[in-house]
A and B are shown apart, each in its own frame.
Chain A
Amino acid sequence: MTQALQNLFWIFIFPGFVFTVCLGLVASWIVRKVSALVQWRVGPPFLQPFYDVMKLLGKEVLIPEEAQQTVFKAAPVVGLAGVLLLSTMLWRITIDPTRLFVGDIIVAIYLMVLPSLALILGSSASASPHAALGTSREMKLVMGYELSLVLAFIVVIIKSGGQLSLAAIAQQTPALSISGMLAFLVALLCVQAKLGFVPFDIAEAETEVASGVLMEYSGALLAVWKLVQAMMLVALPLFLVMVFLGGFTGALWAGIAKYVLVLVLLILIKNTNPRVRIDQAMKFFWFYCGVVLVAAVILAIIGNSYGIKWL
């Protein structure tokens, strides 16, 4: 019983919904503020992301007549559940590494797909031609970065000697070696694409397909999507920190510094690049990142079998 209550507390309050959402909205404020500073603007006040979500919740919900309404409405909710589970799992393992919670690194990789999948199904259900283009692009983007992302994680699994447990993986710092660094940089770009940040905001390109996947969403449904995006902004950089940068195993401030570092790197990439086309993005992830990662995998295997840590 107490176990069940504890689980409820974890998923709803800390480190689940309330905590992740607040942190995510703060993170999205950081994104907007830093972007503004880069572009010589003042940027929004601290509470702006909170106001945005509250305002959207109070707006009228418009649902397209031709849409498959159940899927259209359920998609943001499923996306929320997926990212919530991922975030709770990662935080739980960070807080208490000795206890197994929900899953390992492969489970985390698969849970990361859930929000993208929900977005794809939701936009596909909206019956809008613009959204259909977005659906296709989002799916191709997932296909593209998944190969690189998994290869990057394989580098980490090699370095950990075949360990799958996230707690064990967070004990080491692969980014301090050549192969780990390469894998980290590519994984960072993959997360950039997963978050739908420029230069990989192809699926919701406002200027081309009018927000594509999100085109028909409005009101409370859009608010939930905004929450999902904010929570992704917590979960995905945290995942990178855990897998590549040694997680929160050291001091707390060091962990927070690593998280902010990843976030700022993402923001800087976002603000210094133009949007690419979908075929360019796929080619980039499959071929260029692929070659880099194959080299990283080979280096990691050599380093592992000869005991050379810095490879």
Chain B
Amino acid sequence: MNLGKILPMLVFLPLAVGFVLLFLPSKIKSVSKVLTLIISVIAFALAIRIFSLGQLEYSCPVLQIGNLNLDLLLSASALQAFILMFAMGFGLLITLYSLKIHAIRNTNIYYGAILLTIGGSAGILLSNHLLFLLIFWEIVTASLYLLITTGGKNSNFAATKSFTMIGVSDAAFLLGVLMVWALSGTLVISEIAKAPVPTTSSIAIIAFILLMVAAITKAGAMPLHTWLPTSGEYAPASVMALLPGAIDKLLGIYLLVIIVRSIFALNSVPLTFILAIVGTATIIIAAMVALVQHNVKKLLAYSAISQVGYMILGIATGTAVGLAGAVFHMLNNAIYKSCLFLGAGAVEQETGTAEMDELGGLGKKMPITFVTFLIAALSVSGIPPFNGFVSKWMVYQGVIQMGTEQTSAVAKLWPIWLIAAIFGSALTLAYSVKIIHSVFLSRLPDKLKDVKEVSLPMRIPMVVLALLCVLFGVFYFVPLNRFIYPALDIEADSSIFIGTWDSTLATALIVLGIGLGLVILLVGFVSRKVRSVPTWTCGEVQPNEQMRVSGTHFYKTVSSMGGLRQLYAGQEKGHFDTYNQSGRLGLALTGFLRWLHSGLLPMYLTWVILGLLVILFVVCKIW
């Protein structure tokens, strides 16, 4: 059997089954659950097989129009294979998690769309032909729309907003693809990669920006991020974990890496500058907005935006360590952000709300969710020795190396990029602490006394992801050597770092330190008894509800600071939302048209005659 055949199988099997599931009558729910689970297991197994086989090719002629060859070209090299493996892994974990979710509106559409996402993202990653890549890209966009609509109330609005924004960026993608075709004469990525388009002509720069818009809208970077928080609020948490949390990041950053490395030879300073400024602005602004959110899922959505900034910044540095850091951060972010969304989903399912005001003290009731969420939150904040620290540390090194080795104006501004990136990490810690405090620590509200831990199928994905966070942090050289370096043609075990981070030794020493601390505590606990007492409130007896200090207003000091206050107010009203602003523009335009269409016959006749005169004038002028 030709081994290449497993590539189309991985793409079209989930797509076909997913498409069928969409039209199943809603009574047979268990069929779609079982089928989705089986297919996602098969997809994951195939992806592992592809990864272990290495280089694979598949081609099948579809259509030929003139000199435009439309062949279905699928190929898997190291970069595609490892992203594919993780994307399929996320698909499987989320499917497993979904089995026990109660709050999905339309089960068959949900599972069908999950399979479409799995097949579509496999298609995007394996396509070697830009047009097919675009087609699969659209399939994922459409399935995101379907998935968001399965949420509760208002989810249709969120789905429409997401679909509009990503759809517009897809149009930019199409335009960019056509321009690339005009520039290089072919649409096959591996052909273009032999002679990447130099970003010197203005048309190449425009094409680059168009493709970049598509990539960063999918990944959710500023200023095209606003579909993410809205869907974060209304879509089911599992959907957020699957698409914006994991797969959209993988795909968006994958496309950006392809654009920068294969399609274009990025040698234009303004473009690098745009990438760097988008990266840093995304890190800081999204994190600042995340600080003041009240809804766990919405906060996490802003956090998902903020993290994209690190990846874009890493790519912008143009250094080996920066690029490797960016791709590693893409992987790490997918892992912990998925875990965070799943944790939020677990909390929402058990308590019925994701508003931080109404939560608290759940660490005692849901210990496994709490521990996994805590690990993921520490990872996203870049606390050593978890995985987020390593990839952020690599991006920082990329920035410093850019500053010392390159001479362009962007490189000379490296202190700005560096401070934004490191400070962004402190802000990340701040909003993580806010969630941890208001959801899991603090005090338990009276009405949440009977909350229980979620069931096993929901726990497994969270535990797996949290374990990955720890493993990829402590043994970071393993994923680097196994996945990242081969994917980016960096020699294994090469010393691209300029700093030092001996994570295994550090972890061992931390564990020893913890052991030592425990011994001291033990001495204290043994020498005198330990007593449980009510909270000390300086003698004043208060009911439980009045002693609850929710974390919602932790950062009021920041949001009411002079200068920032106005920005926050504007943000709250949606002044900085591209979607709202273009919506306003569209309304103004249609308002004008409505004013024209007054419904009065004489008015229309006047317009017709005026138009006739104009046409006559033009025609006479030409002849």
Contact = CB atoms under 8 A, between A and B. Distances in A.
Interface of A: 7-8, 11-12, 17, 56-66, 68, 70-71, 73, 76-78, 80-82, 84-85, 88, 100-107, 109-111, 113-114, 117, 120-121, 124-130, 132-133, 135-136, 139-140, 142-143, 146-147, 150-151, 154, 157-158, 161-165, 210, 215-216, 219-221, 223-224, 227, 278-279, 282-283, 297, 301
B249 interface: no
Q: Is the interface of B mostly helix, strand, loop or mixed?
A: helix
Contacts of A282: 557-558, 561
B391 to A, nearest CB: 13
A216 B498 CA distance: 44
A141 to B, nearest CB: 10
A63 B561 contact: no
B554 A162 contact: no
Given A57-B520, A147-B419, A82 B364 contact: no
A125 B442 CA distance: 6
Which of A100, A110, A128, A165 gathers most chain B CB within 10 Å?
Answer: A110
Contact of A107 (B501, B528, B544): B501
A40 to B, nearest CB: 32
Interface residues of B, number: 81
Given A124-B442, A216-B535, A88 B509 contact: yes
Nearest to B502: A102
B616 interface: no
B96 to A, nearest CB: 27
Nearest to A59: B528
Nearest to A84: B513
Interface stretch (B214-222, B347-355, B421-429): B421-429
Interface in B465-507: 498-502, 505-506
A283 B429 contact: no
B283 to A, nearest CB: 13
A132 B442 contact: yes
Nearest to A220: B524
A77 B522 CA distance: 11
Contacts of B502: 100-103
Nearest to B365: A68
A279 B521 contact: no
Contacts of B436: 121, 124
Interface stretch (B82-90, B394-402, B453-461): B394-402
Given A7-B509, A140-B557, A282-B557, A109 B422 contact: yes
Nearest to A101: B502
Contacts of A17: 513, 516
A220 B529 CA distance: 11
Given A57-B527, A104-B499, A106-B396, A154 B558 contact: no
Given A58-B527, A63-B530, A164-B397, A128 B536 contact: yes
Contacts of B505: 7, 102
Contacts of B419: 147, 150-151, 154
Interface in B512-563: 512-514, 516-518, 520-521, 523-525, 527-538, 544, 547-549, 551, 554-555, 557-558, 560-561
B437 interface: yes
8 contacts: A57-B524, A62-B531, A100-B500, A103-B501, A129-B549, A150-B426, A279-B557, A282-B558
B404 interface: yes
Given A68-B363, A71-B441, A282-B561, A147 B530 contact: no
Given A60-B530, A150-B426, A279-B557, 18 more contacts: A65-B532, A65-B533, A66-B544, A73-B521, A77-B517, A78-B517, A107-B506, A111-B384, A121-B433, A128-B547, A139-B433, A139-B434, A140-B558, A146-B422, A146-B423, A151-B419, A163-B498, A227-B520
Nearest to A111: B384
Contacts of A57: 520, 523-524, 527
Interface in B390-418: 393, 396-397, 400-401, 403-404, 412, 415, 418
A107 B500 contact: yes
Given A77-B517, A78-B514, A61 B528 contact: yes
Nearest to A145: B426
B430 interface: yes
Nearest first, the 6 A-B pairs at minimum CB distance are A220-B524, A81-B513, A77-B517, A162-B404, A132-B549, A104-B499
B372 to A, nearest CB: 14
Contacts of A121: 433, 436, 441
A239 to B, nearest CB: 16
B396 A219 contact: no
Contact of B393 (A64, A106, A125): A106
A58 B548 CA distance: 32
Contacts of A58: 524, 527-528
A107 B393 contact: yes
A114 B563 CA distance: 31
Contacts of B433: 117, 120-121, 124, 135, 139
